[in-house]
Amino acid sequence: MAEKIGLIAGWGDFPVAVARRLQQRGVKVYCAGYHQHADRQTLQPLCTGYKPVGMARLGAQARYFRRHGVTRATMAGKIFKTLIFQKFYWLKHTPDLAFVRYFYPHFVTKTANRNDDALLLTAIKLFRSYGVEIIPATDLAPELLVKEGNLTNHRVSESQRLDIEYGWQLAKKMGELDVGQSVAVKGRAVLAVEAVEGTDECIRRAGTLCPSGGFTVVKVAKPRQDMRFDVPTVGLETLKTIKVAGGSVLAIEADKTIILDQPAVMEFADRHKIAVVALNGEALDKTRAA
């Protein structure tokens, strides 16, 4: 009997890459694709079943998986977090009773945090109550995780190396606080820090504040990164944003960062003289502590 995996799909190419790899392995994929996020046209042909859902209908998603005998599911794709602060946004997604029961402290009494970890861990508890365990997408497609090394022909200068080390330390602190995963730095001065707006907007802001360009973007995993969700991910759009904003370096964390369509990303970076380097986070942290 073919293995069954549930896919909770947000925006971007990541859920498509996961679905494609699972399909190639003969796995039956049952996808719950979020309205205004998931690429249904691309995902549906890759899946055995596809259900468009509102983000606040987690009970319906869990019942969909259970109805098809799915006991393991994974989350993949970006959720535009700024949307949750729009007035009456959750009502547009028709919260079901399961969502209200679990997220009441977050959105009604507002006595619980609404940071990424708090919301996603609550969602995982909800799915588990229906007999569906959330597992890391990188367990299903480990080849998506980038390996350590210089990924492009363009190498970093000594000044850029110092910016990477400086930005790395700051990004790790921000991740520890669950604020964001990315920072933009030039000359050991912080240009922009990612918060709820996401990496691309952080990069664009850095470009606005540093019109001379030449800055470094550092994107890392949280110090205690839960690989089931919010794994650092970069793709071609990330590099295009860096190019337009005037950045010259992207430093990411090896073995904890996903690069989508790596050949296309690296070809674009080489063509536009952007250095991309994947670093061993533990080694870099030890070097700084020494």
Does the pLDDT at position 1 exceed 80? no
For residue 38, name the pLDDT band (cuts at 50, 70, 90): very high
Q: What is the pLDDT of residues 141-150, one digit of tens each?
A: 999 999 999 9
Does the pLDDT at position 29 exceed 60? yes
| Average pLDDT value over all residues in the chain | 91
Average confidence (pLDDT) over 195-200: 90
Does the pLDDT at position 89 exceed 70? no
Average confidence (pLDDT) over 87-96: 68
Average confidence (pLDDT) over 216-237: 94
Does the pLDDT at position 93 exceed 80? no
Q: What is the pLDDT of residues 44-78, one digit of tens each?
A: 999 999 999 988 899 999 999 999 999 999 999 98
Q: Say which residue, 82 or 23, is predicted with more confidence.
A: 23
The full set of domains in the chain, from first to last, is 4-140 (3.40.50.20), 145-289 (3.40.140.80)
Q: What pLDDT does residue 92 have?
A: 61
Average confidence (pLDDT) over 221-234: 92
Beta-carbon-side half-sphere exposure of residue 281 (alpha carbons within 13 Å): 21
Q: What pLDDT does residue 288 have?
A: 54
Q: What pLDDT does residue 106 have?
A: 87
Does the pLDDT at position 262 exceed 80? yes
Q: What pLDDT does residue 286 have?
A: 55
Q: How many CB atoms lie within 10 A of CB 121?
A: 14
SS3 labels along the chain: CCCEEEEEECECCHHHHHHHHHHHCCCEEEEEEECCCCCHHHHHHHCCEEEEECCCCHHHHHHHHHHCCCCEEEEECECCHHHHHCCCHHHHCCCCHHHHHHHHHHHCCCCCCCCHHHHHHHHHHHHHHCCCEECCHHHHCHHHECCCEECCCCCCCHHHHHHHHHHHHHHHHHHHCCCCCEEEEECCEEEEECCCCCHHHHHHHHHHHCCCCCEEEEECCCCCCCCCCCCCEECHHHHHHHHHHCEEEEEEECCCCEECCHHHHHHHHHHCCCEEEEECHHHHHHHHHC
For residue 2, name the pLDDT band (cuts at 50, 70, 90): confident
Does the pLDDT at position 283 exceed 80? no
